[in-house]
Amino acid sequence: MLIRVPDYYDRFRCLAGACPHTCCEAWEVVIDGETAARYRKIPGPLGEKLRQAMAVDEEGDVCFPLSGGRCPFLDGENLCEIHRELGEEATSVTCQEHPRFTEDYGSFREISLSASCPAANALVLGSSQTLTFCTRETAEDGEESDPWTEALLPVRERMVTLLADRSKRLRKRLADVLLLAAAAQELLDQEKIGKLPALASSWQPKPWAAENGGIFPTVLHVLKGLDILDPAWQTLLDRAEKTAPIPVSEDLLERTAAYFIFRYPLKAVNDGDLLGRAAFCVLAVLTVERAAAVCGLPEALRQFSREIEHSPENLEAIQDAFWSHPGLQLPQLLGELAR
């Protein structure tokens, strides 16, 4: 099977007890069935503590409910008691995989590292070089890919190429990504998926007319209406609405955009909404750029990722808002990018 990852993937190292924003706080730890069965058999004081801590949440998942906002097995040194006493292999699948986002597409798999993790965040923003992606092959057998996936891949690759063209202002490049997505969406809507590779290879940027206005402060109001995990996010959105934008490195914003574009457009294989997903990527970059005036780019990206990327409900709400909210549709996004 082919595995595709960002070029910094192999440099990732968990900060463990030194992490300033440990993933063992604020999030309920879900325990997979195999691990839960193992915990029920572990002898001694730790086994008893494991069994007392396990509960079933509203979704029917076995979990460790938070104690004072922290996982009950996070010790005073911000290290995992289970990991320390039983080894990493004894932790749940959720704990072992975080901060990885893994997407299986049949014949290949793509893995990214969530920018909500400070160590991964530093890798995304730790270079001004164009972000690239590496492919490697494993002995694992894959499955046949969906025809839609194979048709969407060239479009996603063209998006990445457009984004990397530093001869143009970043906002022009983001607009080109949106306009390519719009052209591809027309073919998807007409069920002409076979024409997507040709579109990807032949499409050329064209002059575009943008309406006056933009997406701010509308997008901030929409984000404040979603589920809020950390009150600091609410505060950041409030302050971003009142704080004047500041210049942010286009190279770092380009890497931020590449981070999102690697992850989201191919998911259109699930619902056919390529344009909505591309719009989400652009909206994310613009929101992070605006919030950077309050707290700096790394923290803005970290909080956005934590609040949005780890919530399927929030992701879906933003994607839906692109189609339903009159202030967040394509003309408004293009208007914002024309500034």
What confidence tens digit (pLDDT) does each residue in 141-164 have? 878 888 899 999 999 999 999 999
pLDDT on residue 26: 81
**What is residue 203's DSSP assignment?**
-
pLDDT on residue 64: 92
pLDDT on residue 27: 78
Point out the residues of the chain with pLDDT beneath 70: 210-212
pLDDT on residue 66: 87
pLDDT on residue 221: 97
b/e code 297-310 from CB counts within 10 Å (16+ = b): bbbbbbbbbbbbbb
pLDDT on residue 58: 84
pLDDT on residue 116: 97
Q: What does the alpha-carbon distance between residue 232 and residue 267 come to, in Å, rounded to a whole number?
A: 29
pLDDT on residue 196: 98
pLDDT on residue 206: 83
Q: What does the alpha-carbon distance between residue 226 and residue 222 come to, in Å, rounded to a whole number?
A: 7
- 29 Rama class: left (phi>0) / alpha (psi -120 to 50) / beta: beta
